[in-house]
Amino acid sequence: MLDLAFIRANPDIVKDAATRKRVAIDIDHLLALDTRTQELRRQVEAARARQNQLSKDIQAAGKDQEARIAAIEAGRAVAAETKVLEPQLRDLEVELRDLLLRVPNIPDASVPTGRDESENVEFKKVGTPRDFGFTPQDHVAIMARLDMLDVERGVRVAGSRSYILKGDGVRLEMALIQFAIDRISQKGFTPLSVPALAREFCFIGNSQFPRGKDQVYALEGEGEADEPQLFLVGTAEVAITGMHSGEILDGAELPIKYVGVSPCFRKEAGTYGKDTKGIMRVHQFTKVEQYIICQNDHEESVRWHEALLANAEDIVTALEMPYHVVLVCTGDLGDGQVKKYDIECWVPSEGAYRETHSDSYFHDYQARRANVRYRDAEGKVRFVHTLNNTALASPRIMIPLLENHQQADGSVTIPPALRPYLGGQTEFRPKR
């Protein structure tokens, strides 16, 4: 979240950011609530100080019964006042924090203003879509021919937007995941296998809650009555953000570079009728995520943002797929994102690019929510900066991979970079 002092000093900047990000929030109401909270906090602190002084007065009165009784009576009156004020203060603080969690981050000056993804701006294009010499089939037909996918039985088991990978489909997914982990860990990133379950504070820290709660599966009735509720993550980023919550890290150890893998789950709320065919938009998937924790410095964040993009491009290039990079406009940015690139890979059957990777930086927005800090060289404690970028998400990545490498005889050529993870196999061929 944003620093409340920053919001007080720059209300117009915050209002403009909310307008550009299309986030409905009343900043004037937030500031008025903040003023009332500060006033009430001063009253409570003054009452507590008065109580402390009266306790001393009672002890100092000694055998002076008149003074002692007067101090006791005054103390009771102040205690009664405090008993009324403290719950009011707690309620105001809860309301103020809830509003603060909904205030969006400030977009970078380089982010284009736009309403939605249709106004994202192409940043660069790499590779040329292939001239097949035949009508390319879509991934559903290709995977059916290769006996890799069973959507019908997946839906029977788990409902809409479900699927079952089989045969070479499973081998391909495992190969892609291991390929991505190896590719990124070779660049100095520590691999993590993180829980698919996380407590609410992780989602708040990640800035997915409260606004994105409708996309998340909640597990009801888990644990004891006082045990925090658990939710299924939609990315390893959620668990990694929660890993260091409440910690003060050694600044000399930054940046910390992770590549996390986890099963992921999304409700896909609000996407009725969109991408219902095949495996583009599903409820369960596996994702390999790059994650950076670095010093509180804008230029440092920008450098890592570009580096994470280069890592993802390296994976797509190794898989030999045409792609372009788009600069995401304000209306398509998440609440916490300062700037985001999307990599979109070419999907021949659609004659269009489709998003496969997202690369974002947040400044200290997530760190403030999760309370992740570090001690710098001067001994000052500061909030870290965080960044994340997809390394690979499956099964979605299979769509452009299979479609771009399909052959006229029904086979699919395996890119050389992936072959060592498939026992040296060079192609997938239809089952006879």
Q: Which residues are catalytic?
A: 266, 281, 355, 358, 396
Residue with tokens 């993550």: 233
Spatial contact of 116 and 136, defined as CB atoms under 8 Å apart:
no
Q: Tell me how far the alpha carbon of residue 432 is from its chain's centroid.
A: 44
Q: Please state whether beta strands 427-428 and 323-327 pair in parallel, antiparallel, or not at all (unpaired).
A: unpaired
Counting Cβ atoms within 10 Å, is residue 351 exposed (0-12), middle (13-18) or buried (19+)? exposed
385 close to 400: Cβ distance less than 8 angstroms: no
CA dihedral 344, 345, 347, 353 (to 10 degrees): 30
Tell me if the bond preceding 255 is cis, omega within 30° of 0. Answer: yes
* Structure tokens that stand for 65 in this block: 């019964």
Q: How far, in Å, are 23, 220, 256, 409 from residue 374 at the CA level?
A: 31, 35, 12, 58
Q: What is the DSSP letter of 362?
A: -
Q: For the CA atoms of the chain, what is the radius of gyration?
A: 27
Any idea how long the chain is?
Answer: 432
Under a CB-based contact definition with an 8 Å cutoff, are residues 102 and 204 in contact?
no
* Angle separating helix axes 11-20 and 27-61, nearest 10 degrees: 140
The terminus-to-terminus CA distance of the chain in angstroms comes to: 57
Q: Does residue 21 sit in helix, strand or coil?
A: coil
- Which residue, 266, 288, 263, 262, is CA-closest to 275? 266
